[in-house]
Structure 1
Amino acid sequence: MKKSLALVSALVVGTFAGSALAKVPDAQVNRLGADLTPVGAEKAGNGGDIPAWTGGLTSVPASIQGQYSPDKLPLNPYPGDQIKFTIDAGNMAQYSDNLTEGSKAMMSTYPSYKMNVYETRRSCAFPEFVYEANRHNAQVAVLVGGGNGVGEGIMGFPFPIPNNALEIIWNHTLRYRAFKLTREFTAAPVTRGGDYELITVQDEAILQWSDPSKERAEDIDNISIYYISNTIAPARAAGNVILVHETLNRALEERRAWQYSPGTRRVRRAPNIAYDNPGTNSDGLSTSDAFDGYNGAPDRYDWTVIGKQEKYVAANNYDAHLATYDEFLKPLHVNQDLVRYELHRVWSIEANLKPGNRHVYSRRVKHLDEDSWTMTGAELYDGRGELWRVQELLGRQSYSVPLCNKGAEIVYDLQAGRYLALAMQNGGAPINYNADELDPDRYTPASIRQLGVR
């Protein structure tokens, strides 16, 4: 296995310093679609286990034609792939260079944890208009507000050829996930013994950054996302509704959030839905800013680039979301026989808590797949500098859209021996990426009061 790769030549390693960095030289921009993919990944393979990117999956593949239905969860497009080998506590030293610290910690903590490694499939792909936007963004997008916002760019990934770690985390935060979408998902805090209660949530979003009618970031009134989360089960939690107006430049205005409680029948401002406050429906196993891998303002941390590395990460995970919850959720960790791992190049970045700032995580190391800028996993360290929690996000390509994102996201609490499984859709309906009926006028405190009435 190859050791960590050197950074691509365009990257300036280090912490963001200055008021507006980006705008890479034309010679670098011209690499997009040439030696780099349209999202900025290395198009070539590594001469071994990582193949070249040849366009990804942009439609229902021939392998499942006649079986796939758009009203069902996407089927595994690689049904014939077999496990190449398995990594566990007994042989992990052999693969150490290609394992994240989180994977190593899981194997060391839980002897039953293993990673079944499959052939690497570079399936990620996005619409052509996203690729066009990426090229434009590389020429014009800038960090503003001391790195706490993005200006000029719009749509797609703001920094396909990044200059620093802040641009990388903004690529994850603003990555293309369609314009208007709705879904129903479940969350489950799982005890050490494997007991759990499913929490069902209906959520919806207008991702204004991806509004095809806008020409630049300044056209969206500093709101990048309108978001509603409505808990509908179990009965004791039903009717709790959250509304978020996610700001694009947090230096101008912080996130605006409201919460409706059926117990009080009142809508209240909820500034606690941010940073290290307990995440909604997390049973204290995660923080608000860990949902989706990472969200919100990056201002409490100093961000640096570790490098681009070859790591075994959860990718092309279709079988996991086709299983029942009883099959998927097991004591100590999810059923690892349902999780697919592949060798991918990932950007690894590090966030260290700034002096004078408060957060339960003193250090965070995050790994983002180069083909999608989607976070694949993270290590979260406590105030003593010890590894506390491990995040694992199960990536997959939604080939009928097309877009590359993730399905279930897991937060393992190594100190408690428990875990939180989020964003699961097992046995349910797929995400509706064409929710054209959504309108910004819906995203008001009065609207969530009506949603929350039981």
Structure 2
Amino acid sequence: MKKTSIALAALFVAGSFAGTAMAKVPEAQVNRLGADLTPMGAEKAGNGGAIPAWTGGLSSVPASVQGEYSADALLPNPFKSDSIEMTIDASNMGQYEDKLTEGHKALLSTYSSYKMPVYQTRRTCAYPEFVYEAAKNNAKVAELTGGGNGVAKGIMALPFPIANNGLEMIWNHTLRYRAFKLTREFTAAPVTRGGDYELQTVQDEAILQWSDPTKSSAEELDNISLFYIANTVAPARSAGNVILVHETLNRALEDRRAWQYSPGTRRVRRAPNIAYDNPGTNSDGLSTSDSFDGYNGAPDRYDWTVLGKSEKYIPYNAYDTTLATYEQLLKPLHINQDLMRYELHRVWTIEANLRPGNRHVYSRRVKHLDEDSWTMTGAELYDARGELWRVQEMPIGQQYDFPLCGKGQELVYDLQAGRYLALALQNEGEPINYNADELNADRYTPAAIRQLGVR
């Protein structure tokens, strides 16, 4: 994909990055939200072909699953009657080259068993009305601050529904609406080339302060956008390892605060290594701390460039990958692609290049963001030689009973090792609790994680 000037990008507005804040979005542009643009800033119209118009998304339990839906179980697939329209594999990938990311081209070329079953495109993303209202207000008031390392004045929804540059886009992904208080139990599986794995089970919880309905602006958050605890509970040799994170909103003022409890030492220590390119927790060295959720943390080690918007086949509405057992899902080299679903959607593609004088194992990162949600759905990660090293794949899914548009599992394919990491797996478990009202910010202390980790 050729780099595209911001001035030429169809949905960009005039503005240049100077100092610590972006120019405000003109009122005429803001008024497009909910008109020819969706409330989240995507093109509402379809492409006259495979991509339909957005008509509100899937915001409630559809009739197709009314009889089998339960609030205590994983969401049924509302599109199980859909048929595969075509399958892309190594033999025919050349026909679809312009609609494949570089990551998918590499996976198709590297693994003869990798394939992409393509289905009808369904623009299911939907959010509560108060999120739409917040997004429109953010378009008027939100600003980058701290040299692009923070966001000011916005609240609740993505800060820049009409984005001016790559930094605003990565902040849209970082601060997108994911509920206010939530708890879950998820599984991570580092899979060997031969298909062996040991499941790692984690109980985590979060208070996303940016989504606090009682707050009216970022200035009320005491520079904390997120409180987070992750407690590893299995296998036995890893159980009791707990991490605590206070994610700062303006990293120019203060770096992420993190602590870790180790059952071996029975001590809580500050953990500045839970950031950037340090190995990710429970990743078996297959991912970095800042790669979880596609990307997290400070953007300051990279220069961010917008490559443009294009139509790509991306993993979308892949409910069956969550409903399968681990035995059915986790296979050698890659997950069971018969369970995956791909659709044609418009994505924004941004590129991060390591700044001179900075260190990171990834010299270049290319990120693909779904236009309807600004959620990262895929990425290519390049090593110090400029060679493609790892590919991230993150299916977009609609939590239609909440409603919320987010990700399913996170997959990291290490092309050089022939291994992969499957993260955030909900299979064989309970659904995420998006209404964890019992959580309180006072709980997120080093003393609290010491008590969690004792076994």
Q: Does TM-score exceed 0.5, indicating one fold?
A: yes
Q: 1:412-423 residue pairs with structure 2 within 5 A?
A: 412-423=413-424
Contact 2:13-2:29 at 8 Å conserved across structures: no
The separation in 2 between residues aligned to 1:148 and 1:19, in whole angstroms, is 9
AA matched with 2:156: M
Q: Secondary structure at the match of 1:135?
A: helix
Matched, 1:102 2:103: yes
- TM-score (norm: length of structure 1): 0.98
The separation in 2 between residues aligned to 1:7 and 1:439, in whole angstroms, is 43
- The aligned counterpart of 1:237 is 238
AA matched with 1:154: I
- The aligned counterpart of 2:65 is 64
Residue by residue over 1:419-439, the C-alpha shift from the partner in whole angstroms, topping out at 9 and shown as x without a partner, is 000000002100000000000
- The aligned counterpart of 1:221 is 222
- Cα RMSD after superposing both structures: 1.2
Residue by residue over 1:123-170, the C-alpha shift from the partner in whole angstroms, topping out at 9 and shown as x without a partner, is 000000000000000000000000000000000110000000000000
Deviation at 1:417, TM superposition (A): 0.4
Q: Which runs of 5+ in 2 are unaligned?
A: none
The separation in 2 between residues aligned to 1:289 and 1:432, in whole angstroms, is 24
Aligned residues: 450
AA matched with 1:412: Y
Deviation at 1:10, TM superposition (A): 2.4
Contact 2:322-2:408 at 8 Å conserved across structures: yes
- The aligned counterpart of 1:141 is 142
Q: 1:44-193 residue pairs with structure 2 within 5 A?
A: 44-193=45-194
AA matched with 1:48: G
Deviation at 1:72, TM superposition (A): 0.4
1:8 is aligned, of 3, 7, 10, to: 10
- The aligned counterpart of 2:452 is 451
- The aligned counterpart of 2:399 is 398
The separation in 2 between residues aligned to 1:434 and 1:286, in whole angstroms, is 30
The separation in 2 between residues aligned to 1:49 and 1:23, in whole angstroms, is 34
Q: Secondary structure at the match of 1:349?
A: strand
The separation in 2 between residues aligned to 1:453 and 1:335, in whole angstroms, is 37
- The aligned counterpart of 2:32 is 31
- TM-score (norm: length of structure 2): 0.98
Deviation at 1:228, TM superposition (A): 0.1
Q: Secondary structure at the match of 2:21?
A: coil
The separation in 2 between residues aligned to 1:427 and 1:131, in whole angstroms, is 33
Residue by residue over 1:210-257, the C-alpha shift from the partner in whole angstroms, topping out at 9 and shown as x without a partner, is 000001001000000000000000000000000000000000000000
The separation in 1 between residues aligned to 2:252 and 2:305, in whole angstroms, is 20
Contact 1:136-1:153 at 8 Å conserved across structures: yes
Identity %: 78
- The aligned counterpart of 2:334 is 333
Deviation at 1:395, TM superposition (A): 1.2
AA matched with 2:401: S
Contact 2:125-2:398 at 8 Å conserved across structures: yes
Q: Secondary structure at the match of 2:394?
A: strand
Contact 1:176-1:210 at 8 Å conserved across structures: yes
Distance verdict in 2 for CA 1:168–1:384, change over 3 Å:
same
The separation in 1 between residues aligned to 2:224 and 2:286, in whole angstroms, is 29
AA matched with 2:30: V
AA matched with 1:82: S
- The aligned counterpart of 2:379 is 378
The separation in 2 between residues aligned to 1:409 and 1:339, in whole angstroms, is 13
Q: Secondary structure at the match of 1:447?
A: helix
Deviation at 1:102, TM superposition (A): 0.1
AA matched with 2:202: V
Q: Secondary structure at the match of 2:395?
A: strand
AA matched with 1:10: F
Deviation at 1:19, TM superposition (A): 1.5
